[in-house]
Amino acid sequence: MSIPKEAYKALENIVGPEWISDDPAARIADHKGGYATGVVDDRTIPPGICIQPGSGEEVQQITKVANRYKLPFIPTSTFFTSMCAPTVQDVIMMDLKRMDKLEINERDQYVIVEPGVSYSMLQSELLKRGLLTFVPTCGAQASVLANHVHCGDAPFGWRMGLGYRRVLATEWVLPNGEMLKLGSRSYLKEYFWGEGPGPDLKALLRGNEGHEGGLGTITKMAVKIFSFVPGKFTPKGIQPKTTLLLPEERLKWFNCSLPSREKAVDFMYELGRCEIGLMVSTIPPLFRYVARCRGLGPGEFWKRWKEYGENPDREAIDVRVMIIGWTSEKQLEYEEKVLKAVVEEYGGKMSAAPARDESNFLSADAVCSWFIGGRFLSEVYFESLDCGLHTEKDIRRISKLRTPPLADTWDTPMLWAAYEFGHNAKQEYLNYVDDSEVEALRAHEQACRENDIKIGASAIMESTKMFGPYWHNYDKRMEELKAIFDPNNLSNPPKPIERPLFDEQGRTL
């Protein structure tokens, strides 16, 4: 099928000729996403049309034209996920970057953002106002709106929770082109509250992960921002060695080395009970080597990593803790005292780290993990700290079956970030493979998913069809929901219905 001329004309009338193109180069430029590219996207197809709406109204009109002519469409902004890459013909690729307004309400601590607003744009405006947003680990270049409805976890979730909780009133163009307004926006002009009225339809925005445009297009969203400590955040350096100097009287870093995983988990739980800190997260040895070798090329990394593998530290875990004097400088003193006591009690050692940051306030080094080459996938679990003890054992066992060609992680600890004062956490396990051996990575991913079913764990990127039968047939419910809101199956089809991506041999299905 090709796109009818009438459809093109109709779309052109909506946005103007400057903001629409079916040029082959424009389409090629829009057919691969970011994360997991090279692993999950070998079947992607260039879209039929690239279009740039400038407002929610234009998004509605485009969606309605798509429905009239039965053309699939996919909304994107930063496009840092491969899951938004088109897999069917004649997709209308709706790039929302023109919609980049942001409006900060300092008093009521929320910001209204359009999809084109990045975290760096927002954070830069907030820090100078004594406010803060929580930048995710994928980097501050990501779209605030898209990230909140996709994943939205951030290292500072220790204090302020998972992403979904920070979503307030929302404007959402459904797959049929109708606008749905959630929260206070449902009947007021204001965006200050996210839930209701009555049953909370914010529930439909996402699940463990977002729908990647499978249920329409979010065009405007209010998200929470947070008052933060006074003091100057000073950028320093020329890249690649840029860093943000933190107000030392209010923020301090400590590296806490614990003798075992179990002790580290106990330690993090105890910090939760103590209600101290702004961030509590392990630092995997892999990340340390990535940081050390940045700028020296993948060769240097793999050389040093191999050398490390001759005598890796499999047991000791480094937990990085940022303590904070939110209330006053005396809080910082208090938190340091508590931290010291807890570290001692759990048999650890503590050392101060410089009061600067590249990874959390603005996540400038977010994509460092890619420089070592090859392709990688992360197994990501949002659950309890204790769950991490289970999943890590299993992921290690499963990855050994395919190591090599998977890169050896030497059984070293991976990333555990604790959230909500220890109520829950994220575990992330990275596995790398050379470009030529991607099947091994895919087969590993498939095996991990099968294991998740067995042990009762829920990773993100789960396949609806694979997990549904074990999880109360939620796949059927998702199909029904899709049929209700997207009866023509046009909004990034077939999402949010996910088939298994790979088979046991790692072939894309």
Partner 1 sequence: MGIREDLISIIGSEHTIDDTEALRPYSKDYSFTKPCMPSYVANPKSIEEIQEIVKLANKYDIPLTPSSSGVHFNGTAVPFQGGIIVDLRRMNRILGIDERNRAIRIEPGVTWKQLQDELAPRNLMALNPLLPHPQKSALSNHLEREPMMIPKFEYGDPILNLEVILPKGDLMRSGSACVTGFPDKSASKGVVPQGPGIDWAKLFQGAQGTLGIITWCIVKAEIKPAVNKSFFIPFTEAGPATELIYRIQKGMIGSECLLLNNFNLASILTEKWGQDFEHLKQLLPPWTLIFILAGGWRYPEERIAYEEEAFEKILQELGLPKPSTSLPGAPGLEKTLPNILRSAWPEGKIYWKFGFKGSCQDISFHTPMNRVQEFNEFILQIAAKNGYPIDEIGFYIQPLERGRICQFECSLFYDPDDSKTIERIEKLYIGSVEALIEKGAFFTRPYGPIANMVYDRAASYTIALKKIKEWLDPKNIMGPGRLCF
Partner 2 sequence: MALQLENLRHDANSCIRCSMCKFVDMVWTQSARFARQCPINVRYKFNLYSAPGLMACARAIMDGHLEFTPKLLDALYKCTLCGACDVRCKRNLDPEILSVIEALKARAVESGKGPLPEHTKIAENIAKNNNRYGLPHESRLKWITNDIKPSKKADILFFVGCAASYAHHEIARSTAKILMHSKTDFMVSREESCCGYLLYATGQVDAFKKQAERNIDMVSKSGATTILLSCAEGYKTWKVDYPKVLGKETANMPYKVIHIVEHMDQEVKKGSLKFNKSIPLKITYHDPCNLGRLSEPWLVWEGTHERYGVTNPPKTFRRDGHAGVYEQPRDILKSIPGIELLEMPRARDNAWCCGAGAGVDAAFPEFASWTASERLEEVISIGAEAIVTSCPACKDMFQKAVQSCGIKLKVYDITEIINEVLS
Segment 411 to 440, residues that bind partner 2, using CB under 8 A: 432, 434-436
On whether the CB atoms of residues 316 and 233 are closer than 8 A, the answer is no
192 touching partner 1, by CB under 8 A = yes
Give least dist CB 154 to partner 2, A. 14
Segment 207 to 266, residues that bind partner 1, using CB under 8 A: 207-209, 224, 226-227
Q: Count the Cβ atoms, other than its own, within 10 Å of residue 202.
A: 19
Q: Residue 414 corresponds to which amino acid?
A: M
Using DSSP, state whether 445 is helix, strand or coil.
Answer: helix
Q: Does 450 bind partner 1 (CB under 8 A)?
A: no
Would residue 295 be called left, alpha or beta, if left means φ above 0 and alpha means ψ between -120 and 50 degrees? Answer: left
From the list partner 1, partner 2, none, partner contacted by residue 192 (C-beta under 5 to 8 A by kind): partner 1
Structure tokens at 75: 């909304």
The contact pattern for partner 2, residues 450-489, with x = CB under 8 A and - = no contact, is: ----------------------------------------
Query: The tokens 């996910």 sit on which residue?
Result: 498
> How many residues of this chain interact with partner 2, rule: CB under 8 A?
74
CA distance 259 to 294: 28
Binder to partner 1 among 119, 193, 267, 289 (CB under 8 A)?
193
Q: Which does 129 bind (CB under 5 to 8 A by kind): partner 1, partner 2, none?
A: none
Cβ at position 136, least distance to partner 2 in Å: 12
Site for partner 2 in 308-367 (CB under 8 A): 358, 362-367
Write out the DSSP string of 134-186: ---TT-TTSBHHHHHHH----TTHHHH--GGGGEEEEEEE-TTS-EEEEGGGG
Q: Which of 414, 409, 440 is nearest to 306 (CA)?
A: 409
Residue 408 lies near partner 2 (rule: CB under 8 A): no
- Sign of the Cα torsion 136, 138, 140, 144 reads negative
Does residue number 45 form part of the binding site for partner 2 (CB under 8 A)?
Answer: no
* 98 binds partner 2, rule: CB under 8 A: yes
Cβ-contact 141, 119 below 8 angstroms: yes
Rounded to whole angstroms, the Cα distance separating 168 from 253 reads 31
The stretch near partner 2 (CB under 8 A) out of 25-33, 177-185, 212-220, 344-352 is 25-33
Please report whether residue 499 would count as binding partner 1 according to CB under 8 A: no
Per rule CB under 8 A, is residue 202 in the interface with partner 1? yes
CB of 174 to partner 2, least distance (A): 24
- Residue 118, φ and ψ in degrees, nearest 5: -90, 165
Regarding 474 and contact with partner 1 (CB under 8 A), the answer is: yes
Task: Please give the residues from 308 up to 327 whose contact with partner 1 meets the rule CB under 8 A.
Answer: 326-327
Quote the CA–CA distance of 141 and 167 in Å, as a whole number.
Answer: 19
Output the smallest distance, CB 370 to partner 1, in A.
26
Write phi, then psi, for 74 (nearest 5 degrees). -135, 125
Residues in 291-310 that interact with partner 2 by CB under 8 A: 294-300, 302
Residue 276 partner contact from partner 1, partner 2, none using kind-dependent CB cut-offs of 5 to 8 Å: partner 1
Tokens of 495: 């999402």
- Restricting to residues 361-380, name those near partner 2 by CB under 8 A: 362-368, 370-374
CB contact set of 433 (below 8 Å; sequence gap of 6+): 374, 375, 376, 405, 406, 407, 440, 441
Q: Are 417 and 280 in contact (CB under 8 A)?
A: yes
Q: Closest CB to partner 1 among 116 and 348?
A: 348
Q: What is the end-to-end Cα distance of the chain in Å, rounded? A: 23
Stretch that binds partner 1, among 282-290, 356-364, 386-394, 500-508 (CB under 8 A): 386-394
Q: How far is the CB of 344 from partner 2 (least distance, A)?
A: 34
From 394, 442, 386, select the one nearest 418 (Cα to Cα).
Answer: 386
Touching partner 1, residues 349-368 (CB under 8 A): none
Per rule CB under 8 A, is residue 38 in the interface with partner 1? no
Binding to partner 1, residues 106-165 (CB under 8 A): 107-110, 157, 159-162, 164-165
Q: How far apart are the C-alpha atoms of 355 and 243, rounded to whole Å?
A: 10
Number of residues that bind partner 1 (CB under 8 A): 99
Q: Which of residues 121-180 bind partner 2 (CB under 8 A)?
A: 121-125, 128, 138-142
5 binds, among partner 1, partner 2, none (CB under 5 to 8 A by kind): none
Count of residues for the chain? 509
Using CA atoms, how far apart are residues 304 and 297, in angstroms rounded to an integer? 11
Q: Which of residues 302 and 334 has its CB atom nearest to partner 2 in the complex?
A: 302
- Torsion of the alpha carbons at 495, 497, 502 and 508, rounded to the nearest 10: -40
Here's the x/- map for partner 2, 235-274, by CB under 8 A: it reads as xxxxxxxxxx------------------------------
Residue 195 near partner 1 by CB under 8 A:
yes
CB of 49 to partner 2, least distance (A): 11
Residue 390 binds partner 1, judged by CB under 8 A: yes
422 phi/psi in degrees, rounded to 5: 90, 0
Per CB under 8 A, the segment of 11-19, 362-370, 413-421, 437-445 that binds partner 1 is 413-421
Q: What is the DSSP letter of 363?
A: -
Residue of the chain from 19, 302, 308, 485 that contacts partner 1 (CB under 8 A): 485
> DSSP labels for 416-438?
EEEEGGGTEEEEEEEEEE-GGGH
